Structure 1
């Protein structure tokens, strides 16, 4: 029987208890935590726009993409595995 890894599509993510998440978060610099929050927010904003966009929606989407790029630059500098993509946030 094959062992499941975190890479395997059939594996199920295990929730991290709040205390453990707080301990992990306390070891990460504040600018990196802020960048992660900004990146996830920007991806959700980008995914909100669908179909033909009016000029105002297109500007909002481009602003969100710029925010995502800035946040990912900070995240990649700290650890390239932290980069946030729309696929990672979409559900």
Structure 2
């Protein structure tokens, strides 16, 4: 029986760059923006920030639509 190691193995930066170049630029931009919008949704708590939260959720939904068209597993959440 095999035992799987739980120790993460670092990826050299050259390999990470090579992997990153395989993804189209607009997908990389959408992924980065989705992370920012997901973070901003968590900041907007309380009734005072309801409008800002809805705005950020709308932006997050637009970026997730782009990501889902490329890879459904890449969709970011606001949790």
For normalisation by structure 2, the TM-score amounts to 0.80
- Gaps (5+ residues) in structure 1? 6-10
**Closer, same or farther: CA 83–19 of 1 in aligned 2, 3 Å:** same
Aligned to 1:64: 56
Distance 1:80 1:73 in 2: 9
**Closer, same or farther: CA 60–23 of 1 in aligned 2, 3 Å:** same
- Gaps (5+ residues) in structure 2? none
How many residues are aligned here? 79
For normalisation by structure 1, the TM-score amounts to 0.71
